Structure 1
Amino acid sequence: MNIAVYCSANDNIDSDFFKETEKLGRWMGENGHTVVYGGCNIGLMECIGRSVHDAGGRVIGVIPQIIEQGGKKSDCIDIEFPCDNLSDRKEIMMSQSEVFIALPGGLGTLDEIFTVAASSTIGYHHKKTILYNIKGFWNPLIAVLDDLQSKGFIRGDYRNYIQVADSLEELIGLL
C-alpha cells in the first residue's frame, strides 16, 4: 500500500514523537508498504523516510524545488517526484497514495490534512485520513472539529473523513 505521511520537519520536538514515528516506519517497511512523504531530511520527515527505508520499504519523496535548492532533500528516497510548490506537492501526494496519516506537525501538516479531507467530502476521492494521536497531540484539533460539528459547520460526521488512532495498533487496524 502507498501510505502518505504528513508530519513535522522540525528536529526540536518531543523525542517520543520520533520513537513512535520510527516504529510506524519500521512496521511499514517490514510489511512491504511504501511511504509517500515530503522528502525533507529533517524532523519527523527524515525519521519516517529513514525508518521505512532501513526496514526494506520503498520511499517516495515529493519535493518542491525550494526544498531541494536549500539542501534539505533526504538521501533515503527511492523515487523522487520533483514539484514546483506546496500545492503541486499535495496534488501529487494525493494521486500517489491510498491512505493518509498525519503525525504531529505544524501549519503544513494541517494544510495537508484539511486539503485531503475537504477533497474527500466533495467526492474527489474516498481515501482515509487518519490522525495518529501520539501522546494526545491532536486532542485540541479534535476538540475544534467536534465544536464545529456541534454548531452545524460540518455536514455529516467529520469522522467519516478524518479518523483518529491513539496507538500504533489502532492505526494498523484502521489501515
Structure 2
Amino acid sequence: MKLCIFCSANNNIDPEFFSMTEELGRWAAKNGHSIVFGGHDAGLMHAVSKAAKEAGGQVIGVVPRKIEEMGRLSPYLDVHIPTENLTDRKDLMMVHSDAFIILPGGIGTLDELFTVAAAATLKYHEKPLILWNMKGFWDSLITCLDDLQAKGVIRGQWQDYIHPASNLSDIAHILSK
C-alpha cells in the first residue's frame, strides 16, 4: 500500500513522537508499504521518510514549490512530485495514496485530516483514515469530534471516517481490513 503520512514538520516536539514515527517508517518498509508525505526535511516528516528509506522502503514526496524555495526538500525521496501549492499537494496525495495516517501536527495537519475526512463523507474515496493518538496527543480533538457528534452536526458517526489508533498494532489491524 501507499501510506500517506500527515504530520508535523516541527523539530521542537515530544522526542517520543520521533521514536514512534521512526518505528512506523521502518514497519511500513518491512511490510512492503511506500510512504507518501509532504517532502519536508524536518520534524516527523523527516523522521518517517528517513526511517522508511533506511529500512529499504520507497518514499514519495509531494512537495509544494515553497518548500523547495526554502531549501527544505527531503534528501530521502525516491519519487518527487512537485506542486504549486498546498491545495494541489493534498489533492495529489489523496490520489497517490491507499490509506492515510495522521500523526501529531498543527494547523496544516488538521487541514489535511479534515480535507481527507470531508472527501470520505461525500464518497470521493473509501480509503482508511487513521488518527494515531500518540500519548493522547489527539485526545482534545477526539473530545471535540464527540461533542460535534452529540450536537448532531456530523452525519453518521465520525469514527466511520476517522479511525483512532493508540499504537502501531492498531494501525496494522485497521489497514488489514
Q: TM-score, normalised by structure 2?
A: 0.98
Q: Which amino acid aligns with 2:119?
A: S
Residues 18-38 of structure 1: per-residue CA shift (max 9 Å, x gap): 000000000001111100000
Measure, in 2, the Cα distance between the counterparts of 1:84 and 1:13.
Answer: 28
Question: What is the 5 A alignment of 1:65-76?
Answer: 65-76=65-76
SS at match of 2:130: strand
Partner of 1:34: 34
Tell me which residue corresponds to 2:92. 92
Q: Helix, strand or coil for the counterpart of 2:9?
A: coil
Counterpart of 1:137, as a letter, is: F
DSSP-derived class of the 1:53 partner: helix
Q: Which residue of 2 aligns with 1:144?
A: 144
CA shift digits 1:109-154 (9 cap, x unpaired): 0000000000010111111111001000011000000000000010
Aligned length: 175
**d(CA) in 2 for partners of 1:162 and 1:67?**
28
Q: Partners in 2 of 1:53 and 1:132 — Cα distance?
A: 21
| 1:61 corresponds to 2:61 | yes
| Equivalent residue runs for 1:111-130 within 5 Å | 111-130=111-130
Structure 2 residue 1 is the aligned partner of structure 1 residue 9: no
Structure 1 ranges of 4+ moved more than 6 A: none
How far off is 1:5 after superposition? 0.2
Q: Equivalents in 1 of 2:12, 2:151: separation in Å?
A: 36
Secondary structure of the corresponding residue to residue 32 of structure 1: coil
Instruction: Report how far residue 97 of structure 1 moved.
Output: 0.3
Tell me the secondary structure at the aligned position of residue 111 of structure 2: helix
Name the CA distance, whole Å, in 1 between partners of 2:13 and 2:123: 35
Q: Which amino acid aligns with 1:42?
A: A
3-state secondary structure, aligned to 1:61: strand
- Separation of aligned partners in 1, 2:69 and 2:32: 31
For structure 1, list consecutive stretches of 5 or more residues without a partner in the other structure: none
For the residues of structure 1 that align with 2:8 and 2:56, how far apart are their CA atoms? Answer: 23
> Which ranges in structure 2 are unaligned for 5 or more consecutive residues?
none
Give, as a single letter, the amino acid of the residue that structure 1 aligns with 2:73.
K
Which residue is equivalent to 1:166?
Answer: 166
- Structure 1: which amino acid aligns with 2:123? G
